[in-house]
Structure 1
Amino acid sequence: MTEGLEGGCLCGKVRFRTTQAPLRTFACHCTFCQRVTGSSYYAESMFPMNAVVLNAGALSSYEHISDGSKKKVFVHFCPNCGTTISLTFERWPEIRGISRGCYDDPNAVEVSSHIWTQSAQTGTALPKGVECFAEARVTLEGQAEPSTRHTAPVMARAKSDA
């Protein structure tokens, strides 16, 4: 992955660039991320706040209280087309998550883990060899959570099927 990823929203009014490689890129299967995207999960790259520069346009934001941490999560989106560009977090004020689907080349970053897989929608494939966490990567107290690496792709099931 090269430094200086660029991307933007669907209509092109909001553009951004990054000044370094992401700290990590993961797919989140929590119900909040499912609603934010209107899809099965949200893939985002995490950066230090000062490593993301808006080149064009201004973002609108929506404030949400996390079910897990009870801290604020801010959804930043294009006011014209509604594309979710990024998330910021009261819990981690120095971090900005950038939507992987907004990169000009989304394949420039690899998904290194899947989180909140206990909420993954039926039919979602969890990949072979990638860290998968039932919930978050760390507890609210900051302790690392255990992960699973599947030896073959695994299909997620709805809770009622477990």
Structure 2
Amino acid sequence: MTLVVQGGCLCGRVRFKASGPPMRTLACHCTFCQKVTGTSFYAESLYQRSAVEFNEGELKQFDHTSDVSGKKVHVHFCPNCGTTIGLTFERWPDIRAISRGCLDDPDAVEIGSHIWTRSAQTGVALPHGVDCFDTARATLDGRAMEPTRHAAPVMARGEGSS
């Protein structure tokens, strides 16, 4: 049976359906994601663009230039309630990130890694047994970075942090 998840914005004008399991679901602690969500991190599921369908609800777009890659990150949001539905990327044109918090059942997808943990805010605990990366999962030229896996939950800042 194929996994299908559905979700939408706070006001309900924008609805979507994603077919198949996500390529990955991660929590990003970079300062951009903190700003885009107005909170400590952004949890997103990455899909092939063709796997995500939207209703007729309108999406607005804000374009941000990444200070790391120099490429555009496109923030897609509901113009009525402002909910960030997801992201698309100049660097990966076939990929769409869907905001995990917009899923009708956010627990249908499991967070498999945490990235940009060096920017994680005080009070954030990094989980045990999950890949954690100080920066991105890969370098700009595509080389995989080495993750850290904690034996027990660790506070991102302060005593016992990585």
State the match for 1:74 in structure 2. Answer: 74
Cα displacement (A) at 1:67? 1.0
Note the aligned Cα RMSD (angstroms): 1.5
The AA in structure 1 aligned to 2:14 is V
The corresponding residue for 1:11 is: 11
Cα deviation, residue 56, structure 1: 3.5
Instruction: Give yes or no for the alignment of 1:32 onto 2:32.
Output: yes
Cα deviations across residues 57-81 of structure 1 (Å, max 9, x unaligned)?
0100000000110100000000000
CA distance in 2, matches of 1:110, 1:56: 28
**CA deviation string 1:24-54 (max 9, x = no partner):** 0000000000000000000000000100000
Equivalenced residue count is: 160
The runs of 4+ residues in structure 1 deviating greater than 3 Å are none
Q: Residue in 1 aligned with 2:100?
A: 100
Q: In 1, Cα distance between the equivalents of 2:107 and 2:73?
A: 26
Structure 1: gaps of 5 or more residues: none
**Normalising to structure 1: TM-score of the pair?**
0.96
Instruction: Go from structure 1 to structure 2 and tell me whether the alpha carbon gap of 1:51 and 1:11 turns closer, same or farther (over 3 Å shift).
Output: same
Q: Which runs of 5+ in 2 are unaligned?
A: none
Q: Is the 8 A contact 1:16 1:56 kept in 2?
A: no
1:11-160 maps to which residues of 2 (within 5 A)? Answer: 11-157=11-157
Separation in 2 of the partners of 1:67 and 1:126?
Answer: 25
What is the CA-CA distance between 1:20 and the residue it aligns to?
1.1
Report sequence identity in percent.
66
Contact 2:2 2:19 in 1 (8 A): no
